[in-house]
Amino acid sequence: MALSDDDLQDISARTLAYYQESAETFRQRTSDHDVRQNIEALLRHIEAPAPWTLLDFGCGPGRDLKTFTDLGHIAVGLEGTPAFAAMARADSGCEVLEQDFLHLQLPPQHFDGIYANASLFHVPAQELPRVLGELHAALKPGGVLFSSNPRGDNHEGWNRERYGAYHDLGAWQQFLGDAGFSELEHYYRPPGLPRNQQGWLASVWRKAA
């Protein structure tokens, strides 16, 4: 059944409220997560001359913004949770766009890479083609999109007060291909575990030059 505009507004409001209320706990719990594999997967596929302009889509408290900046790149965050946006600005010194994932206003052909780590799964499946199209438009020709999402069997719904859509590889490939991206690689995380213990699907995609 299609989600109405009121449904979508409720999904955004409740999900953002969940993160707003747990912002400090979330920051402490995720501050030492090792996502070097994901950062390296994005950066090794960018072919433009460095330094690169990178969008951290759903930057949270700003952990990875600092990493990108320390590597010499121009990092911009995008975050819908006010507490996270404030933390990210204070901790990283980067520009952070405070935008709801379902109401994006991004500059066209501006970013060399978009890093969507544990964020795009919050977009309902019916809205995902539009959102992916907006990210595609925000990339420079030849730009690269990285995504990592909890994988599932193509169901979506509420997990406590957070809404999520949980895609398998085939469905995710279909969404990204339809949005005009070409796949560069995919892998499952955490590394080194049996597949049934790897709850995350990571993938890297290129916009045509």
Report the distance separating Cα 88 and Cα 95, nearest Å.
Answer: 9
How many alpha carbons lie under 13 Å from residue 54 in its C-beta half-sphere? 32
Specify the pLDDT at position 70: 97
Specify the pLDDT at position 103: 97
Reading the block at residue 114, the tokens are 């978009």
N residues, the chain? 209
Report the distance separating Cα 124 and Cα 168, nearest Å.
Answer: 15
Q: For the chain, what are the domain ranges?
A: 5-207
Specify the pLDDT at position 209: 87
Does residue 77 contact residue 94 with C-beta atoms inside 8 Å?
Answer: yes
Residue from 163, 158, 129, 146 nearest 201 by CA: 146
**Identity of residue 169:** L
- What CATH class is the domain 5-207? alpha beta
At residue 142, the 3 state secondary structure works out as strand
Report the distance separating Cα 199 and Cα 79, nearest Å.
Answer: 24
Question: Which residue stretches of the chain have pLDDT < 70?
Answer: none
> DSSP string of 103-127?
S----TT-EEEEEEES-GGGS-GGG
At residue 20, the 3 state secondary structure works out as helix
